[in-house]
Amino acid sequence: MGTMTMEMWMALMVGILPIVGVILWFWNDIWFAIPVRLRGIADGTELPAGYMGIPFLGEMCTFLWNVQNSPLWCTVHACFPSLNKLVSQSPALFSQQWPFAELLGTDSIIGSQGAEHARLKKFVVKAINKPDAPHRVALMVQPRIISVLRSWAQRFRIVAYEEAKKIKPPAKI
């Protein structure tokens, strides 16, 4: 009789634990998303594709699982002002590891390094620290922004990656 209860207990755990795990995994979807979807069917609106995560944890477990073997996991985050100053002011000792030049183009502002970066930084700091800087920047940037927004309004789909590659410094710099 004692072994029968142990066998029944094991069968119950093996049968119920996966069901409880699945219910817990999809609890936010069951509790929140299904009523919104049912309401959306009547309204003609839809929820975007996705998953809401485990209650109270959200997507943190999935994020940690996916990031575990990536370079982000090995990144050192510095919180000391003196160390941050050393890192940001000595480009010879520290270099970027992400391929910004390949992603955004070699002549984009984001892809600059070393002496070119220092020259652009000096130019930007001088331009921004003047008293009439907001007015001058608005006069220079506003026509470009208006033209870009008009071109985007005429297109059905905008790819942010391609648009970011088009950001280049003016020829005067």
CB proximity list for 23: less than 8 A, separation 6 or greater: 30
Q: Can you spell out the DSSP letters for 126-171?
A: HHHSSTTHHHHHHHHHHHHHHHHHHHHHH-S---HHHHHHT----T
pLDDT-derived band at 129 (thresholds 50, 70, 90) equals confident
18 pLDDT more than 70: yes
Q: What is the pTM of this model?
A: 0.31
**The domain containing residue 29 runs over which residues?**
1-70
- Mark residue 90 as left, alpha or beta (left: phi above 0; alpha: psi -120 to 50; beta: remaining): beta
145 pLDDT more than 80: yes
Where does a domain end: 41, 70, 99?
A: 70
- 41 SS3 class: helix
Q: Are residues 14 and 81 in the same domain?
A: no
Residues paired with residue 54 on neighbouring β-strands, in sequence order: 58
* Average pLDDT score over residue span 81-98: 77
Q: Are residues 130 and 151 in the same domain?
A: yes
Q: What is the pLDDT of residues 92-101, one digit of tens each?
A: 777 666 666 6
Q: Are residues 114 and 153 in the same domain?
A: yes
Q: How many domains does the chain have?
A: 2
Give the C-alpha separation, 50 to 53, whole Å: 9
The encoded tokens of residue 13 equal 């755990």
Please give the residue that has the higher pLDDT: either 142 or 37. Answer: 142
> How many Cα neighbours within 13 Å face the side chain of 10?
6
Give the C-alpha separation, 149 to 154, whole Å: 9
156 pLDDT more than 70: yes
